[in-house]
Chains A and B, each alone.
Chain A
C-alpha cells in the first residue's frame, strides 16, 4: 500500500519534469546549454502565486475549465495501469471511461476557447476538434487490437496477458508503438502537428486556445497538458514491460521507456519542421492506418485469414 502511494505521488509530481526533459533535449540539439530540467516547476510555482486577468467577454465556463481539465487527467491517471501494481480504478471497459474523461476535458477546453470571443481561440478550437475526430476512432482500433489479442476488456488484464505471448506480437507492438507515438505528438501538441513555442498565433492549435489564461488557471493547464502526454507514454510503456520482472526492475524498466519516449519527442522536435496545417490530417491518418494494419495482423494470425 505504502509503495503504491509513493509511486503515485512520484507520478503525480513527474509530468513537469518530462516537459523539462523535452526542453533540455531540444536545447542540447540546438547547441545551447538550456534551462535546467526543473524549470517547469519554477514556472508552475510562480504562476500559482499570481492573480489573474479574466476577459470581460467570458462566462463561468472560462473559469471552471482549467480545474475540470486537471481533474480529468488526474482521474485518467488512476485508470492507466502501472507495471507490477496495476491501476487504482479497473473494470471491464475502463478504456471507454479513460477516453471519454479526456473527451470531457477537450469539450471544456474548446468551449472555454470560444468563450473568449477571440477569433484566434476559435481557430485553435476548430483545429483541435477536427484532428481529434481522426485520433479518437484510432484509439479504439488500438484498444480493439489489444483486446482481440488477449481476449480481455480492461487495461489491467490486457497488459497483464499481453506480455506473456510471443511471436508476431512483437510486430503488432511495434505498429502500435508507432501509432501511439504519433498520437502522443498530436495530443501533446508537439512538432510536427503543433509548435508550443511559436509566437505566430495563426499557426497554433492548442496554445492559441489558452491565450487568455493567466495565473493559477494557466498553471493548471500547463500541468494538464504535460500529464496528458505522460498518460499516453505510460500506455506505450505498458506495451513493453514484461510482467515477470520484479517490482523494482519493472518500475526501472518502465521509467526508462518513458524517459526514452520523451527524449524521442525532443529529438523529433529538433530535427523535423512543423507541417503545414493542411498537411496535418494526412500525418494523423497514419495513426488510423497503422492501427488498422495492427488489427489485421492480429486477425490474420489468430483467426487465420482476413
Chain B
C-alpha cells in the first residue's frame, strides 16, 4: 500500500518540480517521475486484479474525518490501472505536443502542476473510501482539470468554456454532497462500508439516494441531460488534457456509479430499467449530435457521450441481471461495461492524440477545411483509421469485443418469461445497432473528409509526425486495440475478478462459458483475418505483371478538377440530419439574390444541443429570475464582504464554544 501512495505522490511531485525547472526539462522530469510511478503502482494493481484480494490501509486524520480507509479492491484496481497508464501516455505525448507553447513560461508550469495534481487526485478518487475525503479529492480533481481546460485562457471562448465546465462540476458535486451528507447521517459513519446497510434496504430513501448519487456521478460521466459541459470543455483544452479527460477522467463518474451499485447489493428493478434507458438515450443522443459537428474535437467529445451511453447500457443490463437473479445476464452486462470502459479509454485517447497532431499541423479543427491528410501524415492517419474502426465496434478491433458482450447479455433476456425484459432487450439490441451504424456514419465522415481526398486548404506548418513522443503512445494504443480485438481471452481473464465482485453467487460456469465464447470469436476472427490476407495476396498476384495506371478521378465528364467540388462533411451528413431533425435542431441561414443568375450566395448551418436549448437554458432563465432577489448579498462593496467574514468567524467561535 505504501508503494501505491508513493506512486500517487510522484505525479504531484513531478508537477511541483516542473515549476522550478527550465522549459526543456519540465516535460522530461515529469515523464521520468511518471514512469517511476508505474513501477510503484502497477505491481500492487496486477496483484489485486489477478488474485481478487483487497488491499487496505488506514490513514489517521484529525478533526471530522478521523480514521479513513484507503482500499484497493479489483474494481478500484481496474480504474487505477487505466488512470496510471493513461497518465503515462499523456506524459509522453505532452513532451512533443507542448513544444509549441515554449516561450510562455507560466503557461507550461501551470500545465504540469495541474496535470500532476489531476492525476494524483484521480488515483485517490478511486481508492479513498471515506465520504469527506472522497469529496475533497473529487473537488481537487474538478478544480485541477478546470485549470487545465483554461490553459489557453487568453482566448475568450476558452475562458467561457472553462467557467461553464467549473459550474457544471459544482452542480454535480452539489448532488454528491447532498447524497453523502444524507447517507452519513443515516448510517452514522463516514466509511463507505457502513453505507451498505442503508443502500441495501429497498425503500424510498435508498432509491432517492441512488438517484442523487447517479445524477452527481453522471455529471462527471456525461450522461444526459448533464452532459453539456463535455462538448464545450474538450475543444478548449490542449490535446493531451482532452485525451486524459475523455479517456480517463469521465470514467471516474462510471466508477462512482459502479461503486454505489456494489454497495447497494440487489438493485431495484425499476432503477435498473431507468439506468438502461437513460443510457440508451444518451448513446443515441451523443452520436446524433456527433454527426452534426464540424469541430473535430467537439465531435470526439459527443462521441464520448455516446460511448458512456454504451457503458451505461452494460451497467443497466448487469443490474437487470442481478435484479431478476440471472447471473449470466449480469456477468455479460458488467463484463461488457467494464471492457467498454477499457476499450473506450484506448481508442478515445488515440483519437484525441491524432486530433491534436492534426490541429498543430493544419491550425484548424474544422473538418470542412481539412482533407487529404493521408499524404502529409501517413502514419497518423492510419492510426486514426484503426481508432475509427474500433470506435464503431467493428470486428478485428477492440470495440467489437465489448459490444458483443452487451448484445449477448441483452439477447439472453429473450429466453426469460418476463415481457418487460423481452421488450427492453429488443429495444436494447436494436438501439445498440442504431448507435453502431450512426457511429459508422460519423467516423466515415471524419476519416473520409479530413484524411482522404484532396486538401481543402493550404497547410503551412511543417510539423513532423515522426517525433518519437508522438508516435510511441499512439503505436502502443493501436497495438492494444488490435490485440484486444483478436485475442480478447487474455484481457477477459484479467477482468474476471472485477465482475465477480458484483455477483454474490458462484459464477464459475457462466465465466467458463463466456471464456469459451471469446475463444470461438477469437478463432473465427483469425479465420476472417486469414481470408483477408489471402485475397490481398490474390489481388497482388493478379496485378503482378499488368499495367496499373495512375489517372485523375473520373469526374463524369467534368474536366477541371478542384478540391472544392469534393463532397463536404455537411453535405455528407445532410440526409441523416434531415431524418433526425427533431433531435439535432439546426439553424440554417441561406442568403441568395432572388434573380435568375445570382452572383453571390451564402449558406450557413449551425447545430444546436437539444438539451442545452430546451432544458438547461430555460432552467437557467427561471433560476436567474428568482436568484436575482438575492443579488444584494453580492454588492461588490469590499466593506460588506469584510462584515460577512467577521460574522462567519463570530459564529464559528460560538459554534466551537457550544460544542465544547
Contact = CB atoms under 8 A, between A and B. Distances in A.
Interface of A: 48, 50-59, 61, 63-64, 66-68, 70-72, 74-75, 78, 89, 91-93, 96-97, 99-101, 103-104, 106-107, 110-111, 113-123, 125-127, 129-130, 132-133, 136-141, 143-145, 147-148, 151, 153, 201, 211-212, 215-217, 220, 281, 295, 299, 303, 305-306
A281 B396 CA distance: 31
A299 B422 contact: yes
A127 B575 contact: yes
A43 to B, nearest CB: 16
A57 B550 CA distance: 9
Contacts of A110: 440, 444, 448
A103 B437 contact: yes
Contacts of A133: 434, 437-438, 441, 576, 579
A125 B453 CA distance: 13
A51 B532 contact: no
Contact of B563 (A66, A117, A211): A117
A153 B408 contact: yes
A299 B426 CA distance: 11
Contacts, number: 251
Nearest to A120: B556
Given A48-B542, A132-B440, A117 B453 contact: yes
A56 B548 CA distance: 11
Contacts of B573: 126
Contacts of A306: 419
B452 A111 contact: yes
B423 to A, nearest CB: 7
26 contacts: A51-B546, A54-B550, A56-B553, A57-B552, A58-B553, A59-B381, A70-B535, A97-B395, A97-B521, A100-B395, A101-B395, A101-B528, A104-B389, A107-B394, A111-B452, A114-B449, A114-B453, A117-B452, A122-B448, A125-B448, A132-B441, A144-B411, A153-B414, A201-B556, A211-B554, A220-B539
B422 A137 contact: no
Given A130-B575, A136-B437, A137-B431, A115 B448 contact: yes
Contacts of B404: 93, 96-97
B47 to A, nearest CB: 33
Given A51-B548, A93-B407, A151-B415, A74 B531 contact: yes
Given A67-B532, A111-B444, 11 more contacts: A51-B546, A51-B549, A52-B547, A52-B549, A100-B436, A111-B385, A114-B452, A118-B555, A129-B440, A144-B414, A299-B422
The A interface is mostly helix, strand or loop, or mixed, namely helix
Contacts of A59: 374-375, 381, 452
Contact of B536 (A64, A117, A141): A64
B454 interface: yes
A296 B536 CA distance: 45
A118 B553 contact: yes
A105 B632 CA distance: 64
B318 interface: no
A216 B542 contact: yes
The 8 closest A-B pairs by CB, nearest first: A122-B567, A114-B448, A117-B453, A51-B546, A137-B430, A67-B535, A144-B426, A51-B547
A220 B535 contact: yes
B424 to A, nearest CB: 11
A147 B556 contact: no
B527 interface: yes
A52 B431 CA distance: 41
Nearest to B416: A151
Contacts of A114: 444, 447-449, 452-453, 567, 572
A100 B579 CA distance: 23
A145 B429 CA distance: 11
Contact of A137 (B433, B536, B551): B433
Given A70-B535, A117-B454, A220-B539, A129 B547 contact: no
Given A53-B551, A211-B554, A140 B392 contact: no
A203 to B, nearest CB: 12
A191 to B, nearest CB: 20
Interface in B375-433: 375, 381, 385, 389, 392-396, 400, 403-404, 407-408, 411-412, 414-415, 417, 419, 422-423, 425-426, 429-433
Contacts of A74: 531
B539 A216 contact: yes
Contacts of B571: 122-123, 126
Given A68-B532, A99-B433, A303 B419 contact: yes
B18 to A, nearest CB: 40
B434 A136 contact: yes
B565 interface: yes
B551 A140 contact: no
B517 interface: yes
B524 interface: yes
A201 B553 CA distance: 14
Contact of B566 (A67, A72, A122): A122
B534 interface: yes
Contact of B444 (A92, A129, A141, A295): A129
Nearest to B547: A51
B574 interface: yes
B408 A107 contact: no
